[in-house]
Structure 1
Amino acid sequence: MVKSFQGNFPFYEFDAFIEMSADMKGNQLHSLKVRHRYPQHSKDPRNNLPLDYSFPADGRIAQLYAMWDMLGRYMDVSQPLPDIPRLEPFRHLDPTTKAFDEAGKRGRPATYWHDLYAKASEKELKQLHGEHRQVVDAAPWGSRPDLMAQSVPGYGDSYTAEPEDVNAYGRFPNKADRFVERAEAKDASQQNKPDNQ
């Protein structure tokens, strides 16, 4: 559940999208926006705007995909908390994560992130950060299953293609950017074809 001053709403009622804005010099800034799908139930009475949250991330568009992935895993109470530095002090407070860690499935000491930051130099941390960013940027985000399309009837029919390179969202349209058909959309279109085709 997402708890707010406007009420409590199931997480699956929120849609994520990438918002682009520009600064005074024309530089593009991107953030992940998560907005409640039914604003008539969650509008802020002070400004009449729908309930939404903004998650800025530095770097490429893939970082925003990673942020959405982390939020989805964080909100899934059947899975352990994402193994990130910010959540390490609270892992023992979540029953699912506590059981996961006690079973030895985490594969790291309880204070892994704390110890890493305490012992590593600034240079080492910068190198680790750069390596992690490369892994995130290279991840095949577009090939992951669309959970929203699986849970909301008709949602997946609204689009059938996605950028081959998710970081292409961060540029103005370019002839070199390619869109590829989503596998599940392609499979669905094949099933809907009449037998004589």
Structure 2
Amino acid sequence: MSQTVYQQHAYRSNQVPPQKPRPEKTLAQRLLSAGQRMLPWSRPTKTVSTRTAQVSPSQWQKMKATAKNQECFWNEQTLEGLTGNIWVRVYLVLSGLGKVTVLFITPVLIFTLLLGSLITAGEFGISEWGTVLGAYILYVIIPAGVVWGQFELYNRGYWKPKLLRKLLDARKLFELNRRTGMVTLYKRGGKVRYSYPFVEFDCILATTPSQQGLVNYSLLLAHRYSGSMHGVPLGVLVTPHETVAEYYRLWNMIQCYMDVTQPLPDILLLEEARPKDPTTAAYDQQTGRNPRYWRDMSDDAYAEAITQIEAKQSKMSETGPEIDIFAKAS
């Protein structure tokens, strides 16, 4: 089954095709690469980045319950780097205002109208109050309810008009495909900028000074042979301002994910996908892993488990044995 699932270019750390030497950098490229370090290719270990998309078991269960039809950005086949847009924030504000209007402002207004009718003792008749209430329902409650209701349906993956999808869906920055072994970078309009095999990329840890004089890090994949100045921004997968060691762990985890000779990284986000990946399913069956190990934990137990992993990994190497991907075939 694995032979039919994993395609020809799928990455295998024990069968890396010898790569061509890196081309010489131009002067401009050398100047732009100042302050960068190249992370090594290695045989991946089980070390993971605990800072990747932090989510607790209760948050995971809530997301699955409220968005049953929505795929996770990371599964047994693809890892997608996503970014939001300003229209999402605008729509969130409008939806929030709609919810507050329907659930809180409206009951207060109705109570005020009833109280006012009692105080005025009929000076402001029922028909006048009815006119005010009718106008409020028509011009306030209905529009607010439609915006709020549509957002709730959209968030659960049920009603996604094409125009709203174009405005609100997170924009895909890149895709790493475990089964094909390809890395794809997208342009702003969703068109493919380029797509190359995973092993043709170098992982770069770039440093830039912040306005406060601190050092900011960014992790990216740079295609070795095309000369493209556009890199794959892996750094969006972790919380900002991480330590250098954490970026090494992230790179190790990415290599593990793409390596079809290895099981998927053992993290909460990928637990549901494990039975769908042949290599991982075989590994879990052999080791007797609890298929709901992470998902059935309490939040407190999960936090404690993450703390223990971080303490254990702090005493270990962030990556496995290095691989010479440029070795000549014998």
Instruction: With the length of structure 2 as denominator, give the TM-score of the two structures.
Output: 0.38
Q: Specify the code of the residue in structure 2 equivalent to 1:96.
A: T
Check whether the contact 1:35–1:50 (CA below 8 A) recurs between aligned residues: yes
Check whether the contact 2:252–2:318 (CA below 8 A) recurs between aligned residues: no
Does 2:246 align with 1:66? no
Q: Which residue of structure 1 lines up, in the alignment, with residue 274 of structure 2?
A: 91
Q: Specify the code of the residue in structure 2 equivalent to 1:139.
A: M
Give the deviation of 1:109 after TM superposition. Answer: 0.9
C-alpha distance in 2 between matches for 1:54 and 1:39: 19
Q: Specify the code of the residue in structure 1 equivalent to 2:221.
A: V
RMSD between aligned residues: 2.4
Give the deviation of 1:126 after TM superposition. Answer: 4.0
Give the deviation of 1:16 after TM superposition. Answer: 0.9
Q: Which residue of structure 2 lines up, in the alignment, with residue 50 of structure 1?
A: 230
Q: How many residues align?
A: 138
C-alpha distance in 1 between matches for 2:231 and 2:274: 28
Give the deviation of 1:110 after TM superposition. Answer: 0.5
Task: Report the CA distance shift for 1:14/1:22 in structure 2 as closer, same or farther (over 3 A).
Answer: same
After superposition, what is the alpha-carbon deviation per residue over 1:90-120, rounded to whole angstroms, capped at 9, x for unaligned? 112211112222x332x4310111112xx23
Task: Report the CA distance shift for 1:65/1:24 in structure 2 as closer, same or farther (over 3 A).
Answer: same
Q: Which residue of structure 2 lines up, in the alignment, with residue 104 of structure 1?
A: 286
SS of structure 1 residue aligned to 2:286 = coil
C-alpha distance in 1 between matches for 2:252 and 2:234: 15
Q: Which residue of structure 1 lines up, in the alignment, with residue 203 of structure 2?
A: 16
Task: Report the CA distance shift for 1:126/1:95 in structure 2 as closer, same or farther (over 3 A).
Answer: closer
Q: Could you list the runs of 4 or more consecutive aligned residues of structure 1 that deviate by over 6 angstroms after TM superposition?
A: none
After superposition, what is the alpha-carbon deviation per residue over 1:33-81, rounded to whole angstroms, capped at 9, x for unaligned? 22111224xx4xxxxx334223254532111111111011111112211
Among residues 294, 310, 322, which one is paired with 1:133 in the alignment? 310
Gaps of 5+ in 1: 44-48, 155-197
SS of structure 2 residue aligned to 1:33 = strand
C-alpha distance in 1 between matches for 2:204 and 2:183: 20
Give the deviation of 1:146 after TM superposition. Answer: 1.8
Q: Specify the code of the residue in structure 1 equivalent to 2:182.
A: V
Give the deviation of 1:24 after TM superposition. Answer: 2.0
Q: Which residue of structure 1 lines up, in the alignment, with residue 299 of structure 2?
A: 120
Give the deviation of 1:82 after TM superposition. Answer: 1.1
Q: Which residue of structure 2 lines up, in the alignment, with residue 179 of structure 1?
A: none
Task: Report the CA distance shift for 1:92/1:151 in structure 2 as closer, same or farther (over 3 A).
Answer: same
Ranked by relative contact order (alpha carbons within 8 Å, sequence separation 6 or more), the top structure is 2
Check whether the contact 2:261–2:279 (CA below 8 A) recurs between aligned residues: yes
Check whether the contact 2:201–2:221 (CA below 8 A) recurs between aligned residues: yes
Give the deviation of 1:151 after TM superposition. Answer: 1.3
Mapping 1:2-41, distance limit 5 Å: 2-4=182-184, 5-40=192-227
SS of structure 1 residue aligned to 2:314 = helix
Check whether the contact 1:15–1:34 (CA below 8 A) recurs between aligned residues: yes
SS of structure 1 residue aligned to 2:234 = strand
Q: Which residue of structure 1 lines up, in the alignment, with residue 326 of structure 2?
A: 152
Q: Specify the code of the residue in structure 2 equivalent to 1:133.
A: E
Q: Which residue of structure 1 lines up, in the alignment, with residue 3 of structure 2?
A: none
Task: Report the CA distance shift for 1:66/1:55 in structure 2 as closer, same or farther (over 3 A).
Answer: same
Task: Report the CA distance shift for 1:21/1:131 in structure 2 as closer, same or farther (over 3 A).
Answer: farther
Gaps of 5+ in 2: 1-180, 185-191
Computing the radius of gyration over CA atoms, which structure comes out larger, 1 or 2? 2
SS of structure 2 residue aligned to 1:6 = strand
Check whether the contact 2:294–2:302 (CA below 8 A) recurs between aligned residues: no
